[in-house]
């Protein structure tokens, strides 16, 4: 059975530490693109919380994404397996992407040209 049958593959960005394997070095973050299945969108209404530096009620919009283990070959990202599920800020989701089956793995079709989604 195909694990992604609802056409909800998205591209999103996260900052990763270039020195994550060496915790003695000062973190050096770089932006990296990821792909995954959008599982759900979470809306969190947070009340005023001085201990969290929230001076007023705040709303967070998050996305639960099941990452795919994508690798870049000849300018196309391919994947066979899923990675971890993670919760990310919805603002990091860049676009919806397509996919096509190619010899036992999926090729990711991204025609977005890094269009930024505006969320009001």
Contact 87, 63 (CB under 8 A): yes
pLDDT in tens, 79-103: 999 999 999 999 999 998 999 898 8
Domain boundaries, position 17? 9-109
Asked, for residue 104, whether it belongs to a domain, the answer is yes
Asked, for residue 118, whether it belongs to a domain, the answer is no
The pTM is what? 0.76
Gap between the Cα atoms of 65 and 41, Å rounded: 9
Ranges assigned E (strand) in the chain: 9-17, 29-46, 58-68, 71-73, 76-79, 82-89, 93-96, 98-102, 105-109
Asked, for residue 116, whether it belongs to a domain, the answer is no
Asked, for residue 19, whether it belongs to a domain, the answer is yes
Asked, for residue 84, whether it belongs to a domain, the answer is yes
Structure tokens at 32: 């990296």
Asked, for residue 115, whether it belongs to a domain, the answer is no
pLDDT in tens, 18-67: 888 888 888 889 999 999 999 999 999 999 998 989 999 999 999 999 99
Asked, for residue 114, whether it belongs to a domain, the answer is no
Asked, for residue 55, whether it belongs to a domain, the answer is yes
Counting the structural domains of the chain, the total is 1
């Amino acid at each position: 059975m195909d694990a992604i049958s609802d056409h909800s593959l998205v591209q999103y960005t996260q900052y990763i530490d270039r020195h994550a394997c060496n915790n003695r070095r000062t973190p050096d973050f770089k932006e990296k693109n990821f792909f995954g299945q959008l599982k759900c969108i979470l809306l969190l209404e947070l009340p005023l919380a001085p201990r969290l530096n929230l001076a007023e009620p705040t709303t967070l919009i998050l996305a639960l994404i099941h990452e795919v283990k994508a690798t870049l070959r000849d300018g196309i990202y391919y994947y066979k397996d899923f990675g971890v599920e993670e919760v990310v800020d919805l603002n990091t989701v860049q676009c919806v992407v397509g996919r096509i089956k190619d010899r036992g793995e999926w090729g990711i079709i991204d025609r977005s040209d890094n269009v930024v989604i505006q969320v009001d």
